[in-house]
Amino acid sequence: MSDLRGLVVRNGIVAFSTKILRTIVMVATTAVLARILTPEDFGIVAIGLVVTGLVAIFADSGLPTATINKKDLTAREVSGLFWINLGLGVVSVFVISALTPFIAWLYSDNRLVGVTIWLSLTVVLNLAFIQHRALMVRQMHWIAIRSIEIGSVFAGCLVGIVAAFLGASYWALVAMHITMASVSLIFFWIVCGWRPAFTVPFKELRQSLAFGGNLTAVIFLKYSSRQLDDLLVGWMWGVTTLGFYNRAYQLLILPISQLTDPLSGVIVPTMSRLQDDPIRWKTMYLNALGALSFLMAPIGVVLIVFSKDTVLLLLGNQWQPAIPIFRLLAISLLVQPILETKNWVYISQGNTSRMFKWSLIETPFIIGSFVVGLPFGAEGVALAYSLAVIALAVPTLLFAFAGTNLALLDVAKTVWRPFLGAGIAAALSWLCLYYFAPETSLIRLILGLAIFGTTYAVVMIGGLGFLPYLRSLMNDLSLKKPIE
């Protein structure tokens, strides 16, 4: 605790570095696989991943997070949580196996039986090391954790690419996910060194089980609002259309997760320690929001303006139907990263009950947008989702800020510069490309990004004076100002 701020900063550096590396690997792998496999291959595996992911939420039950957060943790409790997780994972395999005939009938595709059953093995494999990872997180062994995770991604991607070249079709994607889980299992067991005892002390686990139950409810609602669109699109429009939709969505969420996840890992612990100092707590939130907006506003605008070139360059010409889907989904990026910061407020204030209440409001609204857009195809779902996210922006923040010293005006004062700068940069780069009109997507992207990046930097730093926000954030994370 004496070096809490130092640990937070070092974790942030490690997290950002590995996230960038992971993004490069995943984007490169996607570019290769998209040129070997078909949209139908991706669509089949996408359905299997949604089903197994849904069951995995209940098998996880929030117990790893309980291990990380429990103040006084005993070896007996960790062992008990391990066996509960593993038991739920084994049960999950049987549940998924029993559901596969119905899933295959629902989508009129018998290939889903084998794919879903094999993907269900990843649930057991992941749960067999989840408590080991939780113990390492609790002890802040960040470098070891990130090294194992990036190593498993490398191994999985390599196996997937080799299998695809050998003609394994959609089984290459299945092999990729199983390899990632298997490599993680082996190395977390080796590096962590902890071994569970054969005990399940239910009386001692009541608090952890209750904590995990509430967290599972929130995660389930969030997962449903983010994954049900895949099931609906695949059911009504077929697995090929789902393949286009799924790849467009996966490309889109990469920049969100790769930036917001590590930033949250740095900001939330710091804000949690500042909850008794409202002024510094508010300053930390707004500075972090400013830094996030500085990064995400241009990314969102770039993905909208250069959506065609991005899809064609990364996925290839056979993925042209994914271009309008990608462009419509990218509209949500204009506000979605900002809305993700609501979790900073809830968690740092210890107000997960209010977080759950908002999930009960948000989830039906998002799911309703899928239903409204579904008759109009994958593009209709994409547009309806983006509009729903934008419509939720103000009420989401108002609900999260209730009872705190934050206000919507604070957010507006913080984010207007990045959005204005990104808008100006986008307009100039679009005009230049319109008149020069390079032929290839690669040249268009290079030239467009060069013009956009230069304009954005000049406008933000020179014209709008954004540097003070970044200096303030770095000052708050400085080791010279210890958190009491």
CB 99 within 8 A of CB 51: yes
Q: How far apart are CA 256 and CA 334, in angstroms?
A: 11
Residue 69 clears pLDDT 80, i.e. is over it: no
Distance CA 235, CA 11 (A): 42
**Per the structure block, which two tokens stand in for 289?**
């929001």
Alpha-carbon span 224 to 220, nearest angstrom: 6
DSSP per position, 371-401: HHHGGGHHHHHHHHHHHHHHHHHHHHHHHHH
pLDDT per residue over 93-115, tens digit each?
888 899 899 989 988 889 999 99
pLDDT exceeding 90 applies to what percent of the chain?
21
The ranges assigned to domains in the chain are 1-204, 240-484
Beta-carbon contacts of residue 208 (< 8 Å; ≥ 6 apart): 63, 66, 67, 70, 77, 81
- Is pLDDT of 308 > 50? yes
The pLDDT of residue 182: 95
Burial string for 286-302 (b: 16+ CB within 10 Å, else e) reads: bbbbbbbbbebbbbbbb
Considering the chain, what is the average pLDDT of its residues? 82
The helix-helix angle for 75-107 and 206-237 (nearest 10°) equals 20
pLDDT per position as a tens digit, 164-198: 999 999 999 999 999 999 999 999 999 988 888 88
User: For 15-46, what is each residue's pLDDT tens digit?
Assistant: 667 777 887 888 889 889 988 999 899 899 98
- How does pLDDT run across 279-301, given as a tens digit for each residue? 888 888 888 888 788 888 888 88
Given a contact cutoff of 8 angstroms between Cβ atoms, the answer to whether 296 and 259 are in contact is yes
- pLDDT for residue 268: 72
d(CA 79, CA 453): 51
Burial class (CB in 10 A: 0-12, 13-18, 19+), 236: middle
pLDDT in tens, 74-89: 777 778 888 888 888 8
Does the pLDDT at position 481 exceed 50?
no
Residue type, 441: S
Output the DSSP codes for 445-456: HHHHHHHHHHHH
The residue-averaged pLDDT of 358-367 equals 88
Please state, in angstroms and rounded to a whole number, the distance separating the CA atoms of residues 131 and 137: 10
At 68, the pLDDT band (50, 70, 90 cuts) reads low
Q: What is the pTM of this model?
A: 0.76
193-197, 244-248, 322-326: the lowest-pLDDT one: 193-197
Please choose, from the candidates 252, 217, 227, the residue with its C-alpha nearest in 3D space to the C-alpha of residue 49: 227
Provide the token pair at 227: 């994954």
Nearest to 305 by CA among 339, 337, 333, 335: 333
Dist CA 320 CA 251 (whole Å) = 14
Three-state secondary structure of 340-356? HCHHHHHHHCCCHHHHH
List the structure tokens of 35. 């040129």
DSSP 8-state code for residue 458 = I
Across 191-195, 246-250, 407-411, the highest mean pLDDT is recorded for: 407-411
Question: Is the pLDDT assigned to residue 260 strictly greater than 80?
Answer: no
